[in-house]
Amino acid sequence: MDRKKIILPAPITALSVLFLMTFSPAYGADSLASAFAEGNWHVSLRWRLEAVDQKPLAHNATAIPLRARLSYKTADWSGLSFNAEVDYVTNFSVDKFNAGGGNTPNPPGYPAIVDPAGEDLNQVYLQYKADFGGQFRVGRQRIIYDNSRFVGNVGWRQNEQTYDSFSFVHKTGGGFNIQYAYLDNVNRIFGNDVAAGDHEQNTHLLNLSHTFKGLGKLTGYFYDIDNEDAAGLSNTTWGLRFNGSHQAEGPKLGYGIEFASQKENADNPIAYDADYWRIDLSAGFGTTTVYAGYESLEGDHARSGQAFRTPLATLHAMNGWADKFLATPAAGLNDAFVGVKGSLGKWKWNVLYHDFSAQSGSGDFGSEFDASIARKFKKHFGILVKAASFDTDSPAFGDTTKFWVQLTANY
């Protein structure tokens, strides 16, 4: 069962045909055969134990998903290459969890662990690298912009988020980077067996940046999201982001500041305007880095539907690993956080604290401690142990504890 069927829109199909018509005379059958014969295969396995205790739900959740991924990329020929990637997720008959989005293999009352079982055509695209340095892709693909706050692949979940898209990337020698994508469909982490897993789009994404040597990178973006299956997620966002690092004597300093403004778009039934702020600071001392930040997503506690939202984001990486704020609360969200991370031999560790509150009104949403430790073994193998503990007095949320053990193998 393939949960993700590819139906490319007319503009993308036309571009594919144009590429093939333009460049197919450059190679005959023998050259095409050589490109496939010289291609590379990649196999990866990712096994995870995830346990969740979430109040006031009656049951704890446990899932043991294994993802097997097979990837293939042809050799380049006249700038052209073909890429394909297939995933298979199984949960070893463990059904003590809610797989989310309507994928519920058990009675109600279990926390969500969004790793539904099944087969996925995760990526399949044609790529062309032009002589001037531009890269074109047509087909199902992974797209990640900046820190994934607005556009990402939700890579933490076993069923990755990918896009049926035409994309263009050009990194110039002068420090400029141009990224554009037209999205026809978002293949979400819930899989194509449920409506929540497949959102048709008429979306344009534009991300421009320039790196200033010794200072940092300035990024400007404009995201015009038209979600034809979930109109409430349609919005237009523009923003500016600056981040960088500096070291002379003493610690290595990191810094970042970002602002974005958003309003409704297309058939969104609710008219709204909302802003976004983020500030990051860090100081590195040898193998240890202390960091802190503040993120604010505007809302309105007196009117629902007015909150800033990021429907294409990798949300697990933001606002705590317990995933309590995958949807921005109506009153908005302020997240003040501080952490310390580093390495000890071959082990990498991270400890982080969040304080969450309403951006509008005076609500206190709770606090969270996160911690992780990971390392790689003999190039191909890895282990990760990770935990999150969310504590709250608010009836709108529930105390939540999550624990993970993850093993990976890559060949």
Per-residue pLDDT tens digits for 272-288: 999 999 999 999 999 99
Name 22's Cβ contacts closer than 8 Å, sequence gap at least 6: none
Q: Out of 19-28, 31-40, 192-201, which region has the weakest mean confidence (pLDDT)?
A: 19-28
**Predicted pLDDT of residue 14:** 44
Q: Would the pLDDT of 22 be above 90?
A: no
In this prediction, residue 21 has a pLDDT band, given cuts at 50, 70 and 90, of very low
Torsion of CA 376, 121, 323, 268, to 10 degrees: 150
In this prediction, residue 94 has a pLDDT band, given cuts at 50, 70 and 90, of confident
CATH of the domain at 41: 2.40.160.10
> From residue 10, how far is each of 17, 122, 164, 328, 348 by CA, in Å?
10, 21, 12, 34, 47
> From residue 220, how far is each of 111, 206, 258, 311, 323 by CA, in Å?
38, 8, 10, 19, 28
**Would 203 be classed as within a structural domain?**
yes
**Would 5 be classed as within a structural domain?**
no
**Predicted pLDDT of residue 30:** 53
d(CA 3, CA 187): 9
**Predicted pLDDT of residue 10:** 46
Q: Would the pLDDT of 350 be above 60?
A: yes
The domain tally of the chain equals 1
Higher pLDDT, 97 or 14: 97
Full-model pTM = 0.91
CA-based nearest residue to 13, from 169, 150, 184: 184
d(CA 149, CA 319): 11
Q: Would the pLDDT of 41 be above 90?
A: yes
Q: Would the pLDDT of 204 be above 70?
A: yes
In this prediction, residue 151 has a pLDDT band, given cuts at 50, 70 and 90, of very high
**Predicted pLDDT of residue 395:** 80
Strand pairing of 400-410 and 364-377? unpaired
In this prediction, residue 33 has a pLDDT band, given cuts at 50, 70 and 90, of confident
Cα within 13 Å of Cα(182), Cβ side: 13
Q: Out of 31-35, 186-190, 257-261, 280-284, which region has the weakest mean confidence (pLDDT)?
A: 31-35
**Predicted pLDDT of residue 399:** 97
Higher pLDDT, 20 or 321: 321
Give the domain extent around 69. 10-410
Q: Would the pLDDT of 1 be above 50?
A: no
Q: Would the pLDDT of 209 be above 70?
A: yes
Q: Look over the chain and give the mean of its residue pLDDT values, rounded to a whole number.
A: 91
**Predicted pLDDT of residue 51:** 96
**Would 2 be classed as within a structural domain?**
no
**Would 3 be classed as within a structural domain?**
no
Q: Would the pLDDT of 34 be above 50?
A: yes
Q: Would the pLDDT of 95 be above 80?
A: no
Q: Would the pLDDT of 402 be above 60?
A: yes
Residues 350-363, mean pLDDT to the nearest whole number: 96
In this prediction, residue 8 has a pLDDT band, given cuts at 50, 70 and 90, of low
